[in-house]
A and B are shown apart, each in its own frame.
Chain A
Amino acid sequence: MLSLIVFLPIIAGLIILAVPSSQKQIIRIVSLLAALGQGVLAVLIWKDYNPALPGIIASPNGSPLGSFQFVERVPWINLDLAGFGPLNIEYFIGVDGISITMVILTALVSAIGVLSSWPIQKQVKGYFILYNLLATAMMGCFVALDFFLFYVFWEVMLLPMYFLIGIWGGPNREYAAIKFFLYTLFGSVFMLLVMIGLYFSVTDPITGNHTFSLVAMATQSNYIKDAILGPDNVVWRYVAFIVLFIGFAIKVPMFPFHTWLPDAHVEAPTPISVILAGVLLKLGTYGMIRINFPLFPEVFQAGMYVIGIFGAINIIYGAFCALAQQDLKKMVAYSSISHMGYVLLGLSAGNSEGMVGALYQMFNHGTITAMLFLLVGVIYDRAHTRQIDKFGGLASYMPVYAGLVTVAWFASLGLPGLSGFISEALVFVGAFSSVTTRYIAMVSVLGIVFGAAYLLWSLQRMFLGQRKPGAAYDLVTDDDGHQHIHFHDWNGKLDLDARELTMLVPLVIITIVLGIYPMPILGMLTASINKLVEVLSPVVLSQL
């Protein structure tokens, strides 16, 4: 089942490979079907998921699967390393509370991404092949429980992304694409070293062989004492943790490794921005939760404070940068940086409230930011510009659009009743409750105000008041005296059309529902998070 949800897009990609590139509609429909299939599977998985099982590490009764669900585990590579012994790589996938939410998110976002890719005309075939490859890789990262498998998916993600930005992107796309590629690769290659180091340091309790299984790695008793990353080798463990952390932090992106993000977003086409902000950024924090922290708990304990500080920097720094942007999309990009800061802060708290908040924030940021980028795309399609000061008074002429923007914007600034609020609140609750990060939390709260500031300001400049001189559209008064606006070379519907609504409305509904009753997602998280906190935290517990 999981395999199916992972490889469905690739299958679609292969089908598309056979379709002649002139048949654009068929290609689109095939990928849409694949995405919807993913969605259906995700719902099924969600339905059958048992939230009581924690996952995270091997379950006490020693079953190597841990209490993961939908586990599929087949030996993949079984070979003999000369003078070292067997090298076992498994095709080992499964979900626990942490990953299932991300699986659902990924299915959702990639389906919406396909919809928003509909208008793309340039090399449709190539586009959707790469898109499906990307979708598979993302999904794979979230379900992989074997470090090797995870790494493969992780790296496979880069190339399609490079081309998707580089070929279908904006004017400065080459720069953005290669920047993204180099930055992320720089982060991940060191992960390779750590991965090998871990392999040599960990043995599977059952077979006694070395293993790549993350589940085994998350249990400290499986480490060989004097191995390179064994408990005795404190220094290297710290180094490994930092290296891994930087690798993931680049994806998050965490200050000061964030500069690829604004470029990538500004250049990328709308669907890719949606994917990028909606899913890829989550991979960074997901990696931290799945790999970085449980494998090196004691280092995490020592590093909580630093991580928290970086989180706070992200929150406030991102908000300030967003405040200064003229380009709407760039503003949204920086807002993502700010919001991912909440995730970091929540993780750094190291207690259940904070981590649940962080996870929930990951989900919500996925949906909300997807919404934001889609909305930016809508106006960009019409006006061919994203300069905030090229608009004004839109609310009078595009009421539906304005309404949705208002909802999305308020969701993003954490208005109660919309999902973003709950996650941010939980993050603060957690961060404040933990003695380590209390003061950091007190500082980060400023983010709430500045977040509101840049969002409301942009809202006002674009939608309220009157049309500004030099705006990207003309005022036309039709014969019965009503005023309308007209965008240059845009013949489509002025306000949102059906396709755009089909993309946006589900997201809005999700945002509202999860804002009123979060348990559908939180319920799946809590068990795993509590387990994780247990794994992580003699120190944290003593603080409570």
Chain B
Amino acid sequence: MFELPSGAEIQSIIASLKASVGFFIPEIYLSLLFMLLIVIDLVIKSKKNILLSLITISGLAGSLFFIYQQHSLQSGELFFGMYVLDEFALFFKYFFVLSGILAVVVTMADEQFDREVKSMGEYYALIVSMVIGMIMMASSQDLLMIFLSMELVSFTAYILTGYFKKNQRSSEAALKYLVYGAVSSGLMVYGFSLIYGLTAQTNIIKIGIELAALGSHSSVVMMLASLLIITGFGYKIGAVPFHFWAPDVYEGAPTPITAYLSVASKAAGFALLMRFFYIAIPHSTVSWSSIVGIDWLTFLMILSVASMIYGNVVAIWQKNVKRLLAYSSIAHAGYLLLGLIVMGKLGTQATLFYLLSYFLVNFGAFYVVILIANKTGSENLDDYKGLGKTMPIAGAALTVFLISLVGLPPTVGFIGKLMIFSALLAKGSLYLWLAFIGIMTSVISLYYYMLIPLNMYLREPKQADNQQINLGVLPQLIMTVFMILTLYFGLFFTPLSDFSKYSSSLFGIILQ
């Protein structure tokens, strides 16, 4: 029943494949890097060594060049619409590569690896592969592609989470992550299948058109499908009520991976969510409810409100800083969703900006946490007592990052919140209540974030010796850079904002 394609067709297919490859260079490059790393690892067997990490960093940095090249290219589909290249995708390419680099940098600082693991080779390779996976998540335009890239990311994430094989919590985290992830992605795929059944399409642009045509027909199935899909995405962005894996995984995983997951894979999830949400769900002119069954907006609102409230409220109780930051990242997913809900260019810009700020600040915070853990060997709040005196720069930096996470000026975090709320209020009083909740919860968040400076500065250390602990020049330098960037972009945020505006144009859809 399936007749073979004619020669001419095959020619055209090959031609288009050739054409597409031209748009695919960064991914190919990264894949090569991935293999290279594995090979090198085979060649030089050693514990965590500087060479590998340097190669990784430089390799990833090199990819930036190719990504930069792509600005000149006309944005368009490739591989028969499976994959797309547009400013939006470019933004996330930069984002993920940079976060990969930072993950490596953070890893270099973490001394726990020396204790826990023998060989680091596949670690870096996995990081790179995760970068690839996330890049593809951000650019894929077909259900199949979406699924594949998500799984790629997930698998590498599972492995990285469980990277401390000797460590109970690490392995436990890996297991939980795996089970939870497998189930939710399974459900998502099932949802995909239903969509495919309804529309006979896997390309999301076509799906969008089909759904628009479909109207309110068979809305219950549609409803179920969208629920299942949201389950998958929600798990990726770690939004309530699909967040349950997050705290345990974030706590158990190696801290660099925690940082990496909490920023990068969350961002990937958002990239995916936005693309799918904006393109596949018809919302061009007609108002939402007109298409019964695809009441995504309500879903997202529930998700966002729940995340903001739950994340902030439960964080109050945490004693472990990593876990505290995990909950805070849940809350931030909520804020990011706010930008998504607005459904407009401004909203997208705000979300992207918020992602950037969160990226900067969160990596900084985790970096400091790692440095402190190196010295004190603990991530408990009580062990932070008096650190303000013993490591002043770390204390100051961490305070700045936390203030930025609360969203107080003059930090980049404040601008992020400002943009989000502006996007909400730009729609008049429609979303005011969301903004209100966001504001309230950010006041709450101040409370638990301030617990850390409170311990660091307002309380005396347990042991009385107040001589300064030296963290080494390079780490202090890096911290300072992070801190200064946080403040600088808090005062002069035009470049970031312009960049996110430039990137807020998705292929195949014109947002108003």
Contacts and interface: CB of A to CB of B under 8 A. Distances in A.
Given A189-B439, A192-B439, A196-B425, A159 B408 contact: yes
B443 A228 contact: no
Given A80-B501, A166-B457, A196-B421, A155 B409 contact: yes
A239 to B, nearest CB: 9
Given A156-B409, A159-B408, A166-B457, A82 B349 contact: yes
Interface string B429-470: 100100110011011001100100110011100000000000
Interface in A152-194: 152, 155-156, 158-159, 162-163, 166-167, 173-174, 177-178, 181-182, 185-186, 189-190, 192-193
Given A159-B408, A166-B454, A81 B422 contact: yes
- Which secondary structure characterizes the binding site on chain B? helix
Contacts of A193: 421, 425, 432, 435-436, 439
A238 interface: no
Interface in A221-253: 227-228, 233, 236
Contacts of B207: none
Given A196-B425, A200-B426, A181 B458 contact: no
A22 interface: no
A192 B454 contact: no
B491 to A, nearest CB: 8
A78 interface: yes
A83 B446 contact: no
A166 B453 CA distance: 10
A187 B442 CA distance: 12
Nearest to B419: A81
Interface residues of B, number: 44
B154 interface: no
A163 B408 contact: no
A185 B446 contact: yes
Contacts of B399: 159
B382 to A, nearest CB: 14
B504 interface: yes
B511 interface: yes
B497 interface: yes
B346 A84 contact: yes
A68 interface: no
Contact of B447 (A79, A182, A196, A233): A182
Contacts of A199: 422
A158 B344 CA distance: 34
A190 B440 CA distance: 9
Given A82-B501, A159-B403, A189-B442, A200 B425 contact: yes
A15 interface: no
B422 A80 contact: no
Contacts of B493: 77, 79
A162 B450 contact: yes
B512 interface: yes
Contacts of B429: 228, 233, 236
Contacts of B346: 81-84
Interface in B287-319: none
Contact of A174 (B344, B417, B454, B498): B454
A79 B497 contact: yes
Interface string A372-408: 0000000000000000000000000000000000000
A205 interface: no
Contact of A83 (B345, B410, B447, B454): B345
Interface string A69-94: 00000001111111110010000000
B227 to A, nearest CB: 30
Contacts of A155: 408-409, 414
Nearest to A191: B439
A197 interface: yes
A23 B465 CA distance: 21
Interface string B188-218: 0000000000000000000000000000000
A186 B443 contact: yes
A151 B349 contact: no
Nearest to A226: B428
A136 B65 CA distance: 43
Contact of A192 (B418, B432, B504): B418
Nearest to B493: A77
Given A174-B454, A185-B446, A189-B443, A79 B408 contact: no
B141 to A, nearest CB: 21
Nearest to A154: B409
A123 B426 CA distance: 46
Interface string B468-512: 000000000000000000000000111001100100100000011
A83 B511 contact: yes
B348 interface: yes
B418 A196 contact: yes
Nearest to B459: A174
7 tightest A-B CB contacts, nearest first: A82-B345, A83-B345, A82-B349, A152-B409, A166-B458, A82-B501, A79-B497
29 contacts: A80-B497, A81-B349, A81-B422, A81-B426, A82-B345, A83-B344, A84-B346, A151-B409, A152-B409, A155-B414, A156-B410, A158-B408, A159-B399, A159-B403, A162-B450, A166-B454, A174-B458, A174-B459, A178-B447, A182-B446, A185-B408, A189-B443, A192-B417, A192-B418, A192-B421, A193-B421, A193-B425, A199-B422, A233-B429
Interface of B: 344-346, 348-349, 389, 399, 403, 408-410, 414, 417-418, 421-422, 425-426, 428-429, 432, 435-436, 439-440, 442-443, 446-447, 450, 453-454, 457-459, 492-494, 497-498, 501, 504, 511-512
Given A81-B346, A83-B512, 19 more contacts: A77-B493, A81-B349, A81-B426, A81-B501, A156-B409, A159-B408, A163-B457, A167-B458, A174-B458, A181-B450, A182-B443, A192-B421, A193-B425, A193-B432, A196-B418, A196-B421, A197-B425, A200-B425, A227-B428
